Structure 1
Amino acid sequence: MKVIVLSDTHMPRKAKALPKILQKDLEQSDLIIHAGDFQSLDSYYELKSFGKLVGVKGNVDTLELQALLEEKQLLTLNGISIGVVHGHGSKLTTEKRAIAAFEGIKTECIIFGHSHIPILKYVDGTLLFNPGSPTDKRRQQSYSYGILTLNSEIHAEHVFFDHKE
């Protein structure tokens, strides 16, 4: 199972269209996970046009998206438990808020966004995965998104690229 993982697309403010490299992977995916900050309902529906989409609300999403999306999602894919949350808030770091969102819940992977910083690491046996942003790299060297390959195990990787066209 090929899962494309995104966050912080901030469309149309940071881009008018999804980068072509991302569009190609979206077309070949089994599932798309978006960890919040679509920004507009149009960008939500654009992603949905590529296939099955699971998303959570972020702190800059419109009122329509806030009403449509949950704060967090807990998925089981190929027997693997995956938590999805944006990670915004006022206390702790983004990473610690993401972990706290699933406290007491057994997850093998937590996907989060908000910081625009790509992260792929294990903490207490749980994979923490922030895909970065495909449209707003902020102070990062490259734009990015993630790919999860789910068989009996999780394989996570980032796709880094220099131009968002």
Structure 2
Amino acid sequence: MNIVIIADTHLPKKKKSLPFKLVKELEDADFIIHAGDWQTIDVYEELIHYAPTTGVYGNVDDNQIKEKFDLKSIVEIGSLRIGITHGHGRRKTTEKRSVELFEGDGVDIVIFGHSHIPVHKEYDGKIVFNPGSPTYKRRQPKYSFGKLELSEDGCFTLEHVFFDESESEASK
């Protein structure tokens, strides 16, 4: 199973469309996870054309997104329990807020966004993952999103896909 993980798309405010590098991955996706700051429901409407899509709302999302998604979600894919949140709030770091939100929920992976900083590490027996942003890298050297590949035997790989501006658009 091929799962694409994104966050902080901020469309159409930061970019007018999803970048080419991401679209190429979406074409092969079996499932899509969005960790908030979609900006508008149009992003969701575009993503569902590629694969079933779930996610959470972020701090800049409009009311249509907030009505469709929760602040926190847990999805089960194969043998994995995946916690999803945007991570915005007060006090502590985005990462700590996100991890604490799922304490006691028995998740294997915590996916969050908000900071636009790619993170992939183990913390307290869980994998903590922020895909970064495919459209608004802030001070990061590259744009990014995540890929989770899950095999039938329950093994999985989780990685970032990094790209620069030249890979954002299709060749003309």
TM-score tier, shorter chain, comes to over 0.9
**Structure 2 residue 160 is matched with structure 1 residue 150:** no
**Structure 2 residue 122 is matched with structure 1 residue 122:** yes
Alignment of 1:6-155 (within 5 A): 6-151=6-151, 152-155=154-157
For the residue of structure 2 that corresponds to 1:42, the secondary structure is helix
For the residue of structure 1 that corresponds to 2:104, the secondary structure is coil
The Cα offsets for residues 14-39 of structure 1, whole Å up to 9 and x where unpaired, read as: 11111111101001011000000000
C-alpha displacement of 1:109 = 0.4
Deviating above 4 A after TM superposition, structure 1's stretches of 4 or more consecutive aligned residues are: none
| Structure 2 CA distance for aligned equivalents of residues 56 and 75 of structure 1 | 11
Question: CA RMSD for the aligned pairs?
Answer: 0.8
Identity in percent: 48
| Structure 2 CA distance for aligned equivalents of residues 157 and 53 of structure 1 | 19
C-alpha displacement of 1:154 = 2.7
| Structure 2 CA distance for aligned equivalents of residues 108 and 139 of structure 1 | 29
| Unaligned runs of at least 5 residues, structure 1 | none
C-alpha displacement of 1:43 = 1.3
For the residue of structure 2 that corresponds to 1:13, the secondary structure is coil
C-alpha displacement of 1:90 = 0.7
C-alpha displacement of 1:52 = 0.4
| Unaligned runs of at least 5 residues, structure 2 | none
TM-score, with length taken from structure 2: 0.93
